[in-house]
A and B are shown apart, each in its own frame.
Chain A
Amino acid sequence: MTVILIFISICIAGVIAIPFLSPKLKGIVTLFAIVMNSAISGYFAFLSLTGHEVCLSLQGSYITGDIPVRIDALSGWFILIVNFVFISGGWYGMFYMNAYRYHREKISLHAISFLLLHTSLVTLLSVQNSLVFLIAWEIMMFSAFICVIFDHEKESTLKAGINYLIQSHISVVFLVTGFLWVAFKTGSYDFQSITTFSLSQKGTGALFLFILFFIGFAIKAGFVPFHTWLPYAHPAAPAHISGIMSGILIKCGIYGILRMLLVIKADFTSIGYMILIFSVISGLYGVMLAIIQHDLKKLLAYHSVENIGIIGIGIGIGCIGIGTGNHIIATLGFAGALLHTLNHALFKSLLFYTAGMVYQATHTLNIEHLGGLIKKMPKTAILFTVAAIAISGIPPFNGFISEFIIYTGLYQSLQDASLGSLTVILFTILGLVLIGGLALLCFTKAVGIVFLGNPRKEFDHDIKEGPVAQFIPLYAITVLMLFIGVFPGIFTNLLKEPIALFTGIPAASVSSFHGQIPEALQPVSRAMLAFLAIIAVVYLIRKRAMHKPTVSMDATWECGYGAPTPKLQYTASSFVRAYSKLNKPTLMYSRKEKEVIGIFPKDGHFESHAYDKLEKWLVDKPIFAIRSFMKRFHFLQNGSLQSYILYGVIFIIAVIFIPLLVEKISSFIEFLKHL
């Protein structure tokens, strides 16, 4: 009880203090408050992961009823991820915001909303009362909105922010409908009442309730086709906010889906297949669009859609496992999903932070304008490359481990499946493999074009690395990534409790399959070590061998042509041209070109923009239709005060007279009937 009070009062104290401090102190105080709150919530989260579920009941008001604060293992896992990313993001953000230190009010607002974002996130992960959950959800969304529109002078930023706000509220509509439905039927806002409700409903009712929640949370998580807000909001925000949004905020959607799986008792097999299909489409569509982006942050944002897809595949297999009563598959699926949640939070935040470094140094994120940054920013380049390898799911980093677990789950579930489910699983494997291959294509492009080769554009200013202290959280993330990659057993051990929640078998009773994941990963861990050892040995041999002979430097081979300009380099678009030609039916390109004609050509130009086909059909077209319908009533809004007063008068008259009229008519009908 007192702990919760302390938790909230730290946040409130921070919010009150921040406006009165100097810009530097604002950052420090925000970070300090977040560290304090993380320590408190992290302690309970860790307890819950070791098997001691924390359960407090907060006396609520007349409306909400008692508020249960239950930090079970699932909340614990997510709280730890939130805390880690927030501390690293806050640290990084302090330096990132240094460039804006003269905008005091903006920084105050930003710091306050950053702090509120953390508090509301931890709150919504730990309360199990739907009304309080929704309030925390709203606070989270608004504070995230304010964080995103930090650069609100730019029209595009504001537009992206509002787009995010609107779409998030569409998700709230679904959630409110779901929660109110349950509350209306059972009279309680406690999450446990959802369980009793779903049990009473049997079959379709429970399934429908789950679909309602799934759509609500899927908008937040960014499953295709609900992903359209994501590629706008992430690039518009400052780098640390993009990292946190992509790393954590969209994971709230995942948390919500997982929580609903725990409380709703429905037909898990069909839910599993539904999630699986959504996820494979999200994964493929996300990466397919990511490849053709020119904006580095937008590219990363589409990759979030892809990774949500991978997490979803894990959840889908887990559900199928529960539905068919196969605990090994259930364990593998949920373990893969939960571990990938952590992994994605790590490498995606690292990618966004390094992209932020690039932006700070060059003031552009257009891939086609960059190049050769590795020579001026070696640390950033290495960190970006590491994160790129990890996100492509390549050993020896963490991305491989979670994908490996999901693959194992998929191959396991092939064994005793019927023909229909076999086909679904087979295409899921196909999808996952293609996602991996496409991610490789996309990230070789990102690393190769942005950091390697020659600079494609001359900048007027110096390009240099950020301050050393800014790199500390980035190194911490990298170390953690390698650590998960090489010693995954430690982390999968922590996952025992959360998984036990889903499979319904207590983790304490070590049954045959519980030890399976850590044991199964033992040889993987050894293989990873062997891999690193081989690389080291070959490197040392090479170093020795290269010691003696002469090594010289010269120009790149260009078929004997000695004076190539940087413009001759392969560009990002040309690198993926073969791919985009193949995928023409699914992608959308708008291009403007003026061809070079004649012997003495004057000028020519070429411009191409990628657009989201689903967005066009599902968002733009309907909105356009609504707009053109609404335009018919445009004459009403003519701007003259007199007519507005007239509308008011008409309205008042109508309000008074229509009931009277209705009464008269009904009495007249009565009269007629009597005749």
Chain B
Amino acid sequence: MSNKKTRILIAKPGLDGHDRGAKFIARALRDAGFEVIYTGLRQTPEAIASAAIQEDVQWVGLSCLSGAHNSLFPKVVEILKQKQAEDIKVFGGGVIPSDDIPGLKEAGIKEIFTPGATSKSVIDYINSN
């Protein structure tokens, strides 16, 4: 008999201190039955990837509102790959202009949620992927 849970790491890469969205999503995911691990502010991509591996999560959710997403999001994916953990899926959210999205997806970020996205859309996405 198994007692499986989907585990998700929610992290704030970079120096951006706006965690209202990240914390909301963390709570909403918890309420949807996931096990959510929150890492707090000012995380380097290295620290996020290490935490994701130690916590053995299926998903990493990144939130960034400072415009540093193009540098930081792909870095997380890259380090996960280096550590042979490319099966850990990464999604992102925050203030992300639409013309950055194709580049981020190409870099391996599975999905990007922009302002106005509901927690339900995030939950549905995770449940169906």
* Genuine A/B complex: no
Query: Interface on A for B, CB 8 Å cutoff?
Result: none
Residues of chain B at the chain A interface (Cβ within 8 Å):
none
